[in-house]
Amino acid sequence: MDEALASRLRAEGIRDERVIAAMARLERARFIPRRWRAEAEADRPVPIGEGQTTSQPSLVALMTEALALGGDERVLEVGTGSGYQAAVLAPLCAELFSVERLPALAARARALLQGELGLVNVRLRVGDGAEGWPDEAPFDRILLTAATPEVPPALCAQLAPGGRLLAPVGPPEGPQWLRLIQSGWDGRLHGKDLLPVRFVPLVIGPTGAAPGG
């Protein structure tokens, strides 16, 4: 257990002890390529290769907490990246589906999540996450880890009634706000902005890669 991280998250205002435990059990350095690994301890975004970054742990914790997971949800993540956020989510939900458009990142995340960590409730796919995962929809929770000026309509359509969608919304160069969209039991959507953030952009369109399994 990374007690230092746990205390830091509590000091940052994270209250959900399940989120804190899930994060304290994980070694963030494993998700970061060797050349940037020395930066893994800091509460800062860190490069993960291919021009992408993984968010600072305090923000990963805040986003995970904002999803308000009870444990029986089916969750869609758009932007697998390093797989760190996915590894935090997996033990807190029933099933995690995660889509990444860059094959090299997806391959590394797959080896870590399904191989080394043996997470049996994680499914990964290479493709455009803006289209969601139609075959597995609807989802109780949807998390975008890349910023978009507008939440793609396909993702809103794949949100189950009573569900929550969390996304950094804004242009690539900012300002971006982390927006929480809640679906009422009548399926109507209500959004509120939580805090200003800075994410890499959501890139729409084909990746030129064959879809993964």
Catalytic machinery residues: 55
Distance (Å, whole) CA 106 – CA 126: 7
Tell whether residue 176 is a contact of ligand SAH (CB under 6 A).
no
Q: Binding ligand SAH by CB under 6 A: which of 52, 58, 64, 183?
A: 52
Distance (Å, whole) CA 18 – CA 24: 10
Task: State both tokens at 107.
Answer: 């391959």
Task: State both tokens at 40.
Answer: 């893994």
Torsion over CA of 106, 71, 195 and 155, rounded to 10 degrees? Answer: 60
Tell whether residue 202 is a contact of ligand SAH (CB under 6 A).
yes
Tell whether residue 128 is a contact of ligand SAH (CB under 6 A).
yes
Closer CB to ligand SAH, residue 82 or residue 176?
82
Q: Are 151 and 172 in contact (CB under 8 A)?
A: no
Tell whether residue 180 is a contact of ligand SAH (CB under 6 A).
no
Tell whether residue 200 is a contact of ligand SAH (CB under 6 A).
yes
Residues in Cβ contact with 34 at an 8 Å cutoff, skipping those fewer than 6 apart: none
CB of 46 to ligand SAH, least distance (A): 9
Task: State both tokens at 135.
Answer: 């075959």
Closer CB to ligand SAH, residue 60 or residue 181?
60
CB of 126 to ligand SAH, least distance (A): 8
- Sheet with 122-126, side-by-side order of all strands: 122-126, 95-100, 74-78, 139-144, 159-169, 176-183, 189-197
Angstrom distances, CA of residue 127 to CA of 139, 143, 152: 18, 16, 15
Closer CB to ligand SAH, residue 102 or residue 197?
102
Tell whether residue 58 is a contact of ligand SAH (CB under 6 A).
no
Q: Binding ligand SAH by CB under 6 A: which of 67, 74, 79, 170?
A: 79
Show contacts with ligand SAH in window 83-102 (CB under 6 A).
Answer: 84-85, 99-102
Tell whether residue 78 is a contact of ligand SAH (CB under 6 A).
yes
Show contacts with ligand SAH in window 145-174 (CB under 6 A).
Answer: 145-146
Q: Binding ligand SAH by CB under 6 A: which of 57, 129, 132, 163?
A: 129
Sign of the Cα torsion 11, 16, 21, 26 reads negative
Contacts to ligand SAH by CB under 6 A: 48, 52-54, 78-79, 81-82, 84-85, 99-102, 105, 128-130, 145-146, 200, 202-204
